């Protein structure tokens, strides 16, 4: 895998920790999952570049990847992304019925563009394209090999999780580039069916205790639509629904957690335009209710008058409001309208529309909401940004804009068409990323070469929204080779912008040889960086960078250990101990108000019932202001 260009970048160690897990010093904030964090805010605490330095920027090629989808996740160790791959003939030499899109890969590079393992690519499982199960022969699933969901990185356990079209969630060692374990989604009625689980399209999400959440997308009559919660060892914590399927409700939106981590939200999609989607709120706790009815806090039918609504993306505000993007299916079932809406809960815990007109239509000619992001300062959601995009089969469409909305009312304050500044920047926009200083970064799709459609390169933009004038101002525009296929920008701890471009139109329907690299199937991944200077990290009362959780001492310990933490200001703090399965075993502090300064707590190795716990690895979780900040440390109890 050739490296096109790279240069050494200078790192400046600025003390910061990740929103979910990391407690080590890093150059800046980490982008550990889709849209940065567990609430999917899309906002980093690091600044991205205000200008592009070509000497610091780099790019790498991904041969035969065809499409680099979804986006990158970035830790201090490196940047990770996935590909679709191509349909291939069976490398085992079986007859021509055995062919598969089996070579969608995971790629890993350090922040200077050097491969982390082998040539930077990790092969995942070979899965037969044609199934022979029961009375089903020659049943097809064209998406087995695609890496669909953006990776989620657990820095406390040094594990990366990513979903694939073969219905599996993979746990990967990001340092070694090896598969640690696989969890296969399943159909409870056909537990041995290799095609029974549904594709993992939504990006996995990490809870503060290490729980991994994701949904599945059933294709055909045998796969199921369901939502899963896994323990860090890959065992099933719970499944919703437990014994059946979300009928005709594939899980498309990547899930998000409430600020306190007690509720998880996701939305559904439909293959039938006559059926509406749902927004679900589930109890996220591992020891929560056993039945589906008890697990579901609420669900909401989504329709705008007599028109059905599907969901594409969501984020949760600092006050627990669920902001959702999607589309309205028009009566002709051909055109549709991008929509955004906001859901809060009433005093009885029931869902209600927050905005006066319920749904806000973004009528710029695009087809759906491609992403949303929340600008938050001082613990308050100040601005909602939404972008509009188009389906892949609408390759000729040039529409797509960035919107600034009032999160309290849904009023559209301003909108920005990037082609007004750069005429060649056309097509739908990809989900925005927000720097600590409020700069907004997003990709513009462009077009791929097709009959009657000329190729147009994609672009990456950095813009600023001026609150005083309600105008957008462009800082820079970066043209990529190829188009940007639903590949969301990510901000790295070094302040770099990480994004990929793709090359192809509809996937070729004929199989290639196993080692063949056809023309026009090599994608490019970019790190767009500014001049070498320290990465600023915004300090706000809601996200301070000097709430510190020290490593317990002694560690390993027996029979007791001292836990020390520092409060940067007066704050409500909780401390809990979790086992390796993600189950809370001891509550040390629950929502207690602490003054500014250093504090310590002693743990004697017992659970809440007073029983002595066995030897093993445990995790200490500190939560500030009901989830405004979370930190985790690993503890080892020896008997």
Rounding to the nearest 10 degrees, give the CA dihedral for residues 585, 589, 590, 591.
Answer: -150
User: What does each C-alpha distance from 7 to 58, 62, 78, 111 come to in angstroms?
Assistant: 7, 19, 15, 10
The least confident of 26-35, 299-308, 599-608 is: 26-35
Model pLDDT for residues 87-132, shown as the tens digit of each residue = 887 777 766 666 667 788 999 999 999 999 988 899 998 876 555 5
User: How confident is the model at residue 130, as a pLDDT?
Assistant: 56
User: How confident is the model at residue 25, as a pLDDT?
Assistant: 34
User: How confident is the model at residue 319, as a pLDDT?
Assistant: 92
The sheet that has 236-240: what strands, in order across it? 205-206, 212-215, 227-230, 236-240
Model pLDDT for residues 496-511, shown as the tens digit of each residue = 999 999 997 666 667 8
354 Cβ neighbours under 8 A, 6+ residues apart: 321, 341, 342, 343, 344, 408, 410
Is residue 146 within 8 Å of residue 87, measured between CB atoms?
Answer: no
| Alpha carbons 38 and 188: distance in angstroms, whole number | 28
User: How confident is the model at residue 12, as a pLDDT?
Assistant: 25
Model pLDDT for residues 7-20, shown as the tens digit of each residue = 322 222 222 323 33
423 Cβ neighbours under 8 A, 6+ residues apart: none
pLDDT at 474 > cutoff 60: yes
pLDDT at 308 > cutoff 50: yes
Is residue 572 within a helix (H) or strand (E), and if so which, with residue range?
A: strand 571-578
Q: What is the pTM of this model?
A: 0.81
Which tokens in the block code for residue 425?
A: 């920047």
Query: What percentage of residues in the chain have a pLDDT greater than 70?
Result: 88
Q: How far apart are the first and last CA of the chain?
A: 49
Which 8-state DSSP code applies to residue 525? E
Q: Is 39 left (phi over 0), alpha (psi -120 to 50) or beta?
A: alpha
| Alpha carbons 431 and 443: distance in angstroms, whole number | 8
pLDDT at 384 > cutoff 90: yes
Mean pLDDT of the chain: 86
Cα torsion angle, 100, 101, 103, 105, sign: negative
Which tokens in the block code for residue 349?
A: 């815990």
| Alpha carbons 581 and 182: distance in angstroms, whole number | 16
Query: Residue 160 — φ and ψ, nearest 5°?
Result: -115, 135
pLDDT at 81 > cutoff 60: yes
pLDDT (mean) for 406-412: 97
Query: What percentage of residues in the chain have a pLDDT greater than 90?
Result: 56
Residue 606, classified by CB atoms within 10 Å of its CB into exposed (0-12), middle (13-18) or buried (19+), is middle
User: How confident is the model at residue 541, as a pLDDT?
Assistant: 36
Which tokens in the block code for residue 516?
A: 């063949």
**Residue 489 CB neighbours (<10 A):** 28
Is residue 80 within 8 Å of residue 72, measured between CB atoms?
Answer: yes
Closest to 496 measured CA to CA, from 54, 160, 119, 63 = 54
Rounding to the nearest 10 degrees, give the CA dihedral for residues 460, 466, 470, 472.
Answer: -20
The least confident of 153-157, 225-229, 570-574 is: 570-574
Higher model confidence: residue 479 or residue 140?
479
User: How confident is the model at residue 60, as a pLDDT?
Assistant: 97
The CATH H-level superfamily of 58-528 is YVTN repeat-like/Quinoprotein amine dehydrogenase (2.130.10.10)
Is residue 371 within 8 Å of residue 313, measured between CB atoms?
Answer: yes
| Alpha carbons 184 and 172: distance in angstroms, whole number | 15
pLDDT (mean) for 386-411: 94
pLDDT (mean) for 122-147: 71
pLDDT at 216 > cutoff 90: yes
Model pLDDT for residues 242-251, shown as the tens digit of each residue = 999 998 889 9
The least confident of 120-129, 179-188, 225-234, 493-502 is: 120-129
User: How confident is the model at residue 14, as a pLDDT?
Assistant: 26
Higher model confidence: residue 357 or residue 144?
357
Is residue 104 within 8 Å of residue 84, measured between CB atoms?
Answer: yes
Position of tokens 């996701």?
Answer: 266
Higher model confidence: residue 343 or residue 541?
343
Is residue 390 within 8 Å of residue 366, measured between CB atoms?
Answer: yes
| Alpha carbons 496 and 396: distance in angstroms, whole number | 31
For 548-637, the fitting CATH number among 1.10.1060.10, 2.40.128.260, 2.60.40.4070, 1.10.274.10 is: 2.60.40.4070
Higher model confidence: residue 539 or residue 307?
307
Domain borders along the chain are 58-528, 548-637
User: How confident is the model at residue 99, as a pLDDT?
Assistant: 66
User: How confident is the model at residue 95, as a pLDDT?
Assistant: 63
| Alpha carbons 188 and 415: distance in angstroms, whole number | 47
The least confident of 49-58, 70-79, 280-289, 301-310 is: 280-289
| Alpha carbons 483 and 389: distance in angstroms, whole number | 13
Position of tokens 């309205």?
Answer: 328
pLDDT at 520 > cutoff 80: yes
pLDDT at 448 > cutoff 80: yes
Which tokens in the block code for residue 102?
A: 């089996």
402 Cβ neighbours under 8 A, 6+ residues apart: 385, 386, 387, 415, 416, 418, 429, 432, 440, 442, 463, 472
pLDDT at 401 > cutoff 70: yes
Residue 1: pLDDT band by 50, 70, 90 thresholds?
very low
User: How confident is the model at residue 508, as a pLDDT?
Assistant: 64
Closest to 309 measured CA to CA, from 282, 344, 274 = 274
pLDDT at 206 > cutoff 70: yes
User: How confident is the model at residue 23, as a pLDDT?
Assistant: 29
Closest to 487 measured CA to CA, from 150, 70, 83 = 70
């Amino acid at each position: 895998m050739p490296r096109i260009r790279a240069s050494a970048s200078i790192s400046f160690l600025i003390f910061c920790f990740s929103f979910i897990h990391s407690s080590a010093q890093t150059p800046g904030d980490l982008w550990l999952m889709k849209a940065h964090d567990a609430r999917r805010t899309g906002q980093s605490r690091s600044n991205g570049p205000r200008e592009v330095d070509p000497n610091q920027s780099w790019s790498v090629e991904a041969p035969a990847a065809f499409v680099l989808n979804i986006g990158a996740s970035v830790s201090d160790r490196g940047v990770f992304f996935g590909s679709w791959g191509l349909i291939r003939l069976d490398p085992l030499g079986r007859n021509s019925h055995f062919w598969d899109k089996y070579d969608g890969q995971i790629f890993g590079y350090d922040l200077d563009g050097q491969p982390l393992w082998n040539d930077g690519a990790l092969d995942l499982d070979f899965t037969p394209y044609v199934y022979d199960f029961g009375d089903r022969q020659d049943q097809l699933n064209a998406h087995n090999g695609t890496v669909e969901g953006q990776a989620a990185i657990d820095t406390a356990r040094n594990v990366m999780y990513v979903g694939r079209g073969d219905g599996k969630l993979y746990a990967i060692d990001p340092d070694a580039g090896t598969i640690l374990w696989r969890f296969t989604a399943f159909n409870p009625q056909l537990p041995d069916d290799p095609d029974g689980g549904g594709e993992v399209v939504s990006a996995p999400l990490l809870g503060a205790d290490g729980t991994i959440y994701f949904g599945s997308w059933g294709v055909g009559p045998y796969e199921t639509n369901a939502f899963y919660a896994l323990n860090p060892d890959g065992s099933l914590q719970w499944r919703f629904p437990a014994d059946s399927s979300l009928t005709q409700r594939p899980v498309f939106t990547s899930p998000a957690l409430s600020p306190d981590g007690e509720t998880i939200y996701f939305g559904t999609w439909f293959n039938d335009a006559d059926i509406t989607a749902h927004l679900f709120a589930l109890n996220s706790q591992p020891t929560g209710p056993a039945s589906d009815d008890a697990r579901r806090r609420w669900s909401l039918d989504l329709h705008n008058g007599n028109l059905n609504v599907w969901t594409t993306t969501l984020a949760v505000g600092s006050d627990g409001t669920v902001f959702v993007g999607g589309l309205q299916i028009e009566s002709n079932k051909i055109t549709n309208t991008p929509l955004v809406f906001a859901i809060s809960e009433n005093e009885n815990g029931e869902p209600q529309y927050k905005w006066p007109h319920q749904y806000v239509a973004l009528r710029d000619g695009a087809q759906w909401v491609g992403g949303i992001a929340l600008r938050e300062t001082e613990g308050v959601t100040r601005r909602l940004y939404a972008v509009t995009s188009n389906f892949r089969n609408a390759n000729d469409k040039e529409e797509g804009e960035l919107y600034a909305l009032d999160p309290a009312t849904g009023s559209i304050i301003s909108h920005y068409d990037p082609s007004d500044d750069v005429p060649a920047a056309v097509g739908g926009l990809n989900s925005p990323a927000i720097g600590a200083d409020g700069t907004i970064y997003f990709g513009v799709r462009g077009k791929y070469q097709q009959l009657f459609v000329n190729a147009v390169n994609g672009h990456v933009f950095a813009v600023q929204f001026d609150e005083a004038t309600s105008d957008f101002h462009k800082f820079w525009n970066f043209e990529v080779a190829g188009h940007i296929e639903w590949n969301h920008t990510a901000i790295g701890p070094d302040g770099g912008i990480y994004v990929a471009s793709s090359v192809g139109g509809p996937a070729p329907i004929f199989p290639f040889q196993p080692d063949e690299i056809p023309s026009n199937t090599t994608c490019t991944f970019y790190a767009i960086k500014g001049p070498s200077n320290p990465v600023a990290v915004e300090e706000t009362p809601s996200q301070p960078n000097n709430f510190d959780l020290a490593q317990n001492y002694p560690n390993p310990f027996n029979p007791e250990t001292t836990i020390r933490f520092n409060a940067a200001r007066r704050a409500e703090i909780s401390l809990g101990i979790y086992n390796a399965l993600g189950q809370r075993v001891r509550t040390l502090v629950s929502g207690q108000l602490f003054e500014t300064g250093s504090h310590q707590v002693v743990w004697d190795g017992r659970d809440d019932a007073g029983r002595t716990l066995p030897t093993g690895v445990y995790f200490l979780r500190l939560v500030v202001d009901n989830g405004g900040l979370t930190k985790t440390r690993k503890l080892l109890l020896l008997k």
